[in-house]
Chain A
Amino acid sequence: MATTAVSTEPFSDYQGDLERLRGVVSPRALTGETMLLNMGPQHPSTHGVLRLLLELDGEEIVTCNPEVGYLHTGIEKNMEDKTYVQAITMTDRMDYLNPPANNLAFVLATEKLCGLEVPPRAQAIRVILLELWRIASHLVWLGTFSLDMGAMSVFLYTFRERERITEMYEMVSGQRMMGTYFRPGGLWRDVPEDFVPAVREFLDIMPEKLRDYERLLRNNPIWVERTKGLAPISAEEAISWGLTGPSLRGSGVNFDVRKAMPYSGYDQYRFDIPLGEAGDVYDRYWCRFQETWESLRIIEQALNRLPGGPVLSDNRKFTPPPRSELGVSMESLIHHFKYWTEGIRPPKGEVFVPIESARGMMGCYLSSDGGPKPHRVHFRQPTFMHISALRHMTPGWLIADVIAIMGGIDIVLGDVDR
């Protein structure tokens, strides 16, 4: 029997008994008029373990029932058993294509509870890393999406450029992906000297690469034919289905958390929000692609104004003492020991912090009971809402279009099954 944390309908174990699908699929499927087809859980285009129960009339989709939960990790529950600092490591593993954004949502919520001020240098470095990873995430999306659509070579090139970003993240955090670099009050440590030149070099080479990708795709008639005009979503529908991020902006809704509720100093940067018109798969691609250009703009501004100073708040109630003090101050040594063994104790209360991850609005609900461990952590993940909207987007389209529609909303299954 399948243990699904979030099943859409109780159909996971229907075992060919069509009566159990009554209400899930159309009545025509019960009489055998239409065909039921399972796409996934291990289908190459699902990029994880997502199962779609498709009801087909010929090649046309009648109903589509997504089912998730095959990758359930229990991250939210596990975080309740860890101190606030330990729990950050869990967040990296959720949306594994964009780990700093996960860190940030949880760290911002902790900072809001504690009332911590983050020094300007830490804010700027956070923004640089967030935007680098937004680019990395979009590159992975572009590569895999094009691969699904039959434009194979883009994948090879985007992963080459993404490798540079993971190398830069390794430079600052010691890890290629799961860095746990953001901490309550700032950063784990300052960036090394060769970080800024590496980012500058990346900024220099990237525009040409982006133009290359665009040329590869825009002049590929198969790719354009398969995405243009496919599954258009109106603005009202997109909002009512809970879409956010580029999937929502593709429909022309100007909503970006970085502009609406700025965090980490995003209000000090000049950047535009690319908006689509038709709301089809091509517009969603276009929004994501233009966003990478905007991310480059933000990174350049952040580098140009990168201030000096500390990267961790000096509010010692919630931050560890610097290493240099441990050898000379007994109090600091005790504080260091207590910080890492007992953890911090934010005041009692609850907060909700939304941020703009690469896929859309990601929110962290954090409830504290005054103890050293979170009482309840919950993440509002964009992919979770996007996959639930697949049932509205796919009917009427062909089975090959499901791949394109699914790719167009940029799914990461680790994001869904926390």
Chain B
Amino acid sequence: MSQETVAALKARFPDAVYDVIEAFGETMVVIDRAIICEACALLRDTPGLDYNFIADITGVDYYPDAPRFAVCYHLYSMLHNRIIRLKVYAPEDDAVIPSLIGEWPLVNWPEREIQDMLGIDFEGHPRQAASAHAGGLGWAPAAQGLPIGEGRGPVFL
């Protein structure tokens, strides 16, 4: 079902498509983070693919593995009823991923949520510098390895 999508991505970005994983009936394409905007625009604008809807964006923290961070984009095509996951990785010391906001205005809040919760920055997003945010906590609340229920000092709401 999603072979066409994978083929289109491979044809356009032969060096930047790292892996295609078919598991649990879902297709995941691991690509280079530098091409995420072009890849999403390609999937949206190519007739026959028409991925017109971003169903979800989420960040994943693979601490202590490297590269530490990943962001998953779930693109959905209402016309063809297909869903595909694009995944990009970012190392801990350079946790920056290009923002999709120029292509899709709706990613504004999901990207902010990832910024706040995991500390991944989105380059080009109107609000940058995730580390300064998350309510000024200075640490990412949803990061792996953060002890739950143990002392991080009081949090004043």
Contact = CB atoms under 8 A, between A and B. Distances in A.
Contacts of B117: 5, 76-77
Contact of B127 (A5, A9, A112, A380): A9
Contact of A354 (B28, B55, B134): B55
Interface centre among A6, A113, A255, by most B CB within 10 Å? A6
A349 B60 contact: no
Nearest to B115: A6
B25 A6 contact: no
Interface residues of B, number: 46
Interface in A380-401: 380, 384-385, 388-389
A378 B70 CA distance: 13
Contacts of B142: 74, 76-77
Interface stretch (B2-10, B33-41, B77-85, B91-99): B77-85
Interface centre among B61, B72, B85, B106, by most A CB within 10 Å? B106
Contacts, number: 120
Interface string B65-81: 00000001010101001
A5 B53 contact: no
A363 B55 contact: yes
A363 B74 contact: yes
A5 B141 contact: yes
A203 to B, nearest CB: 31
A365 B135 contact: no
B63 to A, nearest CB: 11
A10 B78 contact: no
Nearest to A82: B148
A350 B112 contact: no
Contacts of B157: 2-3, 70
A74 B140 CA distance: 12
Contacts of B105: 240-241
A352 B60 contact: no
B123 interface: no
B73 to A, nearest CB: 10
A8 interface: yes
Interface band, chain A: 35 or more
Given A365-B72, A378-B58, A8 B109 contact: yes
A239 B78 contact: yes
A376 interface: yes
B112 A351 contact: no
B30 to A, nearest CB: 12
Interface of A: 1-10, 12, 23, 69-70, 74, 76-78, 80-81, 112-113, 239-242, 253, 255, 260-261, 349-352, 354, 361, 363, 365, 367, 375-376, 378, 380, 384-385, 388-389
Interface of B: 23-26, 28, 52-56, 58, 60-61, 72, 74, 76, 78, 81, 83, 85, 104-106, 108-110, 112-113, 116-117, 126-127, 133-137, 141-142, 144, 146, 148-149, 155-157
25 contacts: A3-B155, A4-B116, A6-B116, A7-B112, A8-B112, A9-B127, A70-B157, A77-B117, A81-B148, A239-B53, A239-B78, A240-B105, A242-B53, A253-B78, A352-B56, A352-B83, A352-B85, A354-B76, A363-B56, A363-B74, A375-B60, A378-B56, A380-B55, A384-B109, A388-B108
Given A8-B108, A77-B142, A77-B146, 16 more contacts: A3-B157, A5-B117, A6-B112, A7-B116, A7-B133, A69-B135, A253-B78, A261-B81, A349-B24, A351-B24, A352-B55, A352-B56, A352-B74, A365-B58, A375-B60, A376-B58
